[in-house]
Homo-oligomer: A and B are copies of this chain.
Amino acid sequence: MEKLGNPTRLEVFHLLVRAGEDGLAVGDIQRHLGIPASTLSHHLAHLVAADLVQQVREGRVLRCRPNFARMNAVLAFLTEECCVGVGATADQGDGPTRGKGAVEEQVAGKRV
């Protein structure tokens, strides 16, 4: 999730998500977003390191695909533990336990 915190990087990843599972070549991304090649390469390296993007060489061009499984996992990190409670600190008891149904009221997701 940290890697998506940079606006440029988010823009790159967002573009790849829009492109779909075949993704785009590095040069295509560059043409779409108009950022210098070195800067783009730098950001892509971050996304690849985070496993949010996978790269495969196709001749001279390097195709970048979004890793949807990883994206979903990253997003689920926030939503999965919704409303489970936070446990106790040294000097206090548990907080109030939510009734069943709290999660469903708060978390939305695209139905599949």
Contact = CB atoms under 8 A, between A and B. Distances in A.
Interface string A1-42: 111111100100111011111101000100110000000000
Report the contact-size class of chain A (Cβ under 8 Å from the partner). 35 or more
Interface string A75-112: 11111111111100111100110100011111111111
Contacts of A31: 89-92
A52 to B, nearest CB: 10
Contacts of A104: 112
Interface of A: 1-7, 10, 13-15, 17-22, 24, 28, 31-32, 68, 71-72, 75-86, 89-92, 95-96, 98, 102-112
Nearest to A104: B112
A76 B13 contact: no
